[in-house]
Structure 1
């Protein structure tokens, strides 16, 4: 009897393009695609057996999930695509209303941690729309994530000429401030922030052929980052050098600093959480 295909969930934001753009899915693997909240639900219900899911859902479900030991979507410092847009200073958001995206549980949890750690109490509400639209509707802050957040950040602060260093990109213009939550986490903790991990159900570890294909794809994507950036810059309608800077900021290996940041986030967001487990036996395959 032929075994059933191994189902995986993929969230194909631009930030994982260096891992996924060159992925040759091996035989015996089925792919389902969606946004983070959809893939979280698919993994937890068993619709898929592995997915690149929100880090906070991995933390909350550490009793049933393990994570690949060498894959993450992490960043040390600014990420540019997890942004709080606001017109009042951060401290003046106290008592205000903040609109939240429905697409990412981790970004919402990170915002809650940062507000709490800085003594800012605000009302968080679900609302969909662009950052400027929601600010104009009366919200004091708007959380935006992913490709939309990257484009809307550039809409606010751009255009950015060649004379501007990519290490000194603006985050404020025309009365709108774009607070990068990953940068604020780094200032608070000194650690990278892991937005996503590649988690799998403990009762359904991934086949080796899939892990090998993912590692080969990552090596190709990182090695051809200029080509990846050019392709996605056209799709996003952004300058190629901005997208390339965005992508080379990411850490796609779950290294010791990333695990430290993930552990600190876990302690802050869910004290007393189950131990985080990583499939150390899966390290053996290369590259």
Structure 2
């Protein structure tokens, strides 16, 4: 039975990530009954965090690392963008083995993926490459660097082609010579390193926001999205110019939308490792609305 949620006096301003993997969480807000409760703003993951930090929005779908840097923010329990095996949308693409990488160009859209990459390099390969922010143009990123971190829709479009390799399509990404690209799914590396799921993003509220009715509304928005994966895949496959079956498989099998106890353990472990490699100064305990 659908929970009854009283309307707020004013719609809560909510910052929604514009990437495909966020769409099921927001589907009820964008296309369903939860639209009555929210005023949506479409942003990159980093922008979502900045808007929440400044108080420009009440709620944001923030990269998980950003919770550590936004004073007074609280996590909305339940919905999340997480993964329990390979994710396919957070990729490290390299022209050299990872232990030889010295410079990494990073998509500036998400700081969590950069933090994860730093942990993987330091704890898995025992190297500390230089990270530089760059627009998500893979050919340009690899022309000046040993590796590139790409996320979201750009990563999905690349991996869809990589899983059915086309030598002609790979040529622009190669510095020189016939050697193929090295492609690494960072979630797979995290799983080998820790054995735990990884939480990439979750809803959080700004300091001072106290309306707990949004908790049920956002759970229902997620559930509405998961019930309509086929419709989402049909719409977004056309937008992204990838096969509908690929989008549907990604949303059903690669992304996990529930912040369960295993995901919470993975999240705490991520924060612990992030503090140890210097991504954050100290670990802030989880705090929920």
TM-score (norm 2): 0.83
How far apart, in 2, do the equivalents of 1:36 and 1:8 lie?
A: 13
How far apart, in 1, do the equivalents of 2:114 and 2:35 lie?
A: 34
Choose between structure 1 and 2: higher helix proportion.
2
Where does residue 261 of structure 1 map in the other structure? 266
RMSD of aligned Cα (Å)? 2.1
Where does residue 287 of structure 2 map in the other structure? 277
Task: Give, in angstroms, the shift of residue 190 of structure 1.
Answer: 0.5
Does residue 74 of structure 1 match 2:82? yes
Does residue 38 of structure 1 match 2:42? no
Q: Residue 188 of structure 1 is aligned with which of 193, 199, 217?
A: 193
**Cα deviations by residue, 1:110-160 (Å, 9 ceiling, x for unpaired):** 11111111202211112224223322x231100111101111222333269
How far apart, in 2, do the equivalents of 1:57 and 1:39 lie?
A: 10
Extract unaligned runs of 5+ from structure 2. Answer: 1-7, 167-177, 277-281
Where does residue 231 of structure 2 map in the other structure? 227
Relative to structure 2, which stretch is displaced further, 238-247 or 267-276? 267-276
CA contact (8 A) 2:25 2:79 kept: no
How far apart, in 2, do the equivalents of 1:278 and 1:251 lie?
A: 20
Extract unaligned runs of 5+ from structure 1. Answer: 161-172, 280-287
Give the 4+ runs in structure 1 shifted more than 3 A: 2-5, 24-29, 210-213
Q: Residue 163 of structure 2 is aligned with which of 132, 147, 157?
A: 157
Q: Residue 58 of structure 2 is aligned with which of 49, 52, 58?
A: 49
CA contact (8 A) 2:79 2:222 kept: no
Query: CA 1:202 to 1:12, structure 2 compared with 1: closer, same or farther past 3 Å?
Result: same
CA contact (8 A) 1:26 1:213 kept: no
How far apart, in 2, do the equivalents of 1:178 and 1:99 lie?
A: 14
| TM alignment of 1:50-129, pairs within 5 A | 50-61=59-70, 63-93=71-101, 96-117=102-123, 118-129=125-136
CA contact (8 A) 2:28 2:35 kept: no
TM-score (norm 1): 0.84
